[in-house]
A and B are shown apart, each in its own frame.
Chain A
């Protein structure tokens, strides 16, 4: 092996690492319930769920959609708005954030959270959350969306299926 190769290869790898490429393939789920789909579209079949804070490996990107592999080895497409490049730290406490900065981590359950809402509700008894909870239970499935579009003869860009 020549001296040139001996020096250049490790230094090139070092340059890549310094550029941050080594960890560019990992992202975290930043929504309560994410879904992986068979195609890069919300009308694509659901392959399986991913949960808040779960880390996924990115495979490829197409428009706003990212093809990922989940921690349970499921592969599928998910919209980029469901992911963050930060590491979502669940149940953060103690020194959880010791190496953290705002470019690297998001602490789940911190800041304005369920405890703060509960305290807010105790302080503001006239503010009623009953209907907010009911709203959150109003969910529409992919099949209902496709049927709705079809029955109303609404033709999305790129097709409904």
Chain B
């Protein structure tokens, strides 16, 4: 076989390889094309170009950039702090941040736009909240349920897992996001004009209401709570805390939470139910004894809480 014959035999193979390796058109491009055509496909000049491009800059909560998640989280946290007085116990808040930020580094999503930060709320109610992006708030009542650092770590790890899973963002109605993504696409200027800013702020306010009401009133689905408990078990294990502390906390909640209460009982599945699915995650791992040094420092920060 001469060189020309060999080449002729190879060419179909190369052609097939090209077909296989060429990236497919985005499966969702139909949606983008429809929206793009409707909003700006016929506009002339730069604005038209930008419009065609940006209409595809988002479809669901997953397209919210970490930067936008940060601003949503700030406003959600501000709303919670406006309803629950924050604790100005610097010593405890420092401890809470050291513990919480260390745990967050062991999560699957240690880096958020603005990082993880923690604060105790000066309320006897048993509750904890995770605002998108990593602002985590835990009440004095919840801290009071914890008998060990490992137990408090379990509470924080559960909240970190909600941030990791972007659960808060999932509660935002699609209509708000559609408004935001559309404006991002249609506005060509570096800063927004009054009309765009007004529409964006309206969508933002709606988003904050969606997330805040989910955190404070309706709660997440059982599936998301289970996902957060699973994430918590993983984080505790990676850092070296007793994973069984989550079951200890749930058992304590079972004793203390009143059915029909306005706190954690309202927004979370029954602790007994949660114990049922957490136990198999931990398996036969034996409980880790709490070193006296750890217990001593924990009890020290609880003084005058």
Q: Which of chain A's residues has its CB closest to B2's CB?
A: A3
Within 8 A of B (CB), among A111-161: 111-117, 119-120, 123-124, 126-129, 131-132, 134-136, 138-140, 144-145, 148-149, 151-157
Give A51-84 as 1s and 0s: 1 = Cβ < 8 Å from B's Cβ atoms: 0100000000000100000000000001101100
| A34 and B187 alpha carbons, distance in the complex (Å) | 29
Q: If A42-B110, A97-B53 touch, does A3 touch B4 (CB 8 Å cutoff)? A: yes
Q: Chain B interface secondary structure, helix, strand, loop or mixed?
A: helix
Q: If A98-B50, A112-B71 touch, does A15 touch B188 (CB 8 Å cutoff)? A: no
Residues of chain B lying within 8 A (CB to CB) of residue A132: 74, 77-78, 81, 135
17 A-B pairs in the complex with CB atoms less than 8 angstroms apart: A3-B7, A14-B18, A19-B23, A32-B67, A32-B113, A81-B111, A101-B57, A102-B59, A111-B65, A111-B200, A112-B200, A113-B67, A129-B78, A131-B77, A134-B119, A151-B293, A152-B297
Cβ-based interface call for B22 (8 A): yes
Chain B residues proximal to chain A, CB less than 8 Å: 3-4, 6-7, 10-11, 14, 17-18, 21-23, 26, 32, 46, 49-50, 53-54, 56-59, 63-68, 70-72, 74-75, 77-79, 81-82, 86, 93-94, 97-99, 101-102, 105-106, 108-115, 117-119, 135, 149, 180-181, 183-185, 187-192, 197-198, 200-201, 203-205, 207-208, 237-241, 291, 293-294, 297
Give A80-91 as 1s and 0s: 1 = Cβ < 8 Å from B's Cβ atoms: 011000000001
Q: Are A116 and B201 in contact (CB under 8 A)?
A: yes
Q: Which of chain B's residues has its CB closest to A157's CB?
A: B238
Give A1-24 as 1s and 0s: 1 = Cβ < 8 Å from B's Cβ atoms: 011100110011011101110000
Residues of chain B lying within 8 A (CB to CB) of residue A46: none
Q: Are A156 and B239 in contact (CB under 8 A)?
A: yes
Q: How far is the CB of A68 from chain B (nearest CB, A)?
A: 13
| A131 and B189 alpha carbons, distance in the complex (Å) | 32
Q: Are B56 and A102 in contact (CB under 8 A)?
A: yes
Residues of chain B lying within 8 A (CB to CB) of residue A14: 18
- Contacts A116-B204, A127-B78 known; 17 new A-B pairs at CB < 8 A: A8-B14, A12-B14, A16-B21, A18-B23, A19-B21, A19-B23, A32-B114, A34-B111, A42-B105, A97-B54, A106-B65, A109-B67, A111-B68, A148-B98, A152-B293, A153-B293, A156-B240
Cβ-based interface call for A47 (8 A): no
| A132 and B203 alpha carbons, distance in the complex (Å) | 21
Q: Are A81 and B81 in contact (CB under 8 A)?
A: no
Q: Which of chain A's residues has its CB closest to B76's CB?
A: A132
Q: If A102-B56, A111-B183 touch, does A82 touch B111 (CB 8 Å cutoff)? A: yes
